[in-house]
Amino acid sequence: MLDNAGIPCFVKNEFAIGGIGDLAPFDCLPEVWLADEEWEPKAKRLLKELLEQNHGEEDWFCPFCKEKNAASFEICWNCGKEST
Ligand SMILES: [Zn+2]
């Protein structure tokens, strides 16, 4: 996402996931590093916008089986039909 916005950054630990052994899993999670800290306010604003976007979506009810589905689901978790 930051790449799309033209913010220079890189992901650290992206390939460390295969190296989990003695390391705590937390240490192996990918981290995003900005190339320059002057980008931080813009990056944070973008992240906030992204979070708010996701939060703004509402749960929906499947018209076929009436099950409640989270907004992030494009198909019903219960019967597999698409939302309308
Ligand atoms: Zn359904």
Residue 23 has pLDDT above 60, yes or no: no
Give 84's pLDDT tier (boundaries 50, 70, 90). Answer: low
Residue 14's Cβ-side half-sphere holds a number of Cα atoms within 13 Å equal to 6
The DSSP output letter for 13 is S
CA of 58 to the centre of ligand 1 (A): 16
Helical (H) or strand (E) element with 48: helix 40-56
Q: What is the sign of the dihedral through the CA atoms of 31, 32, 34 and 37?
A: negative
CA of 76 to the centre of ligand 1 (A): 5
What pTM was computed for the model?
0.35
Say if 49 falls within a structural domain.
yes
**Mean pLDDT of all residues in 4-32:** 60
Number of domains in the chain: 1
Say if 67 falls within a structural domain.
no
CA of 61 to the centre of ligand 1 (A): 8
| Separation between Cα atoms, residue 4 and residue 6, nearest integer Å | 5
CA of 68 to the centre of ligand 1 (A): 8
Residue 52 to residues 34, 47, 59, Cα–Cα distance (Å): 22, 9, 15
Say if 66 falls within a structural domain.
no
Say if 38 falls within a structural domain.
yes
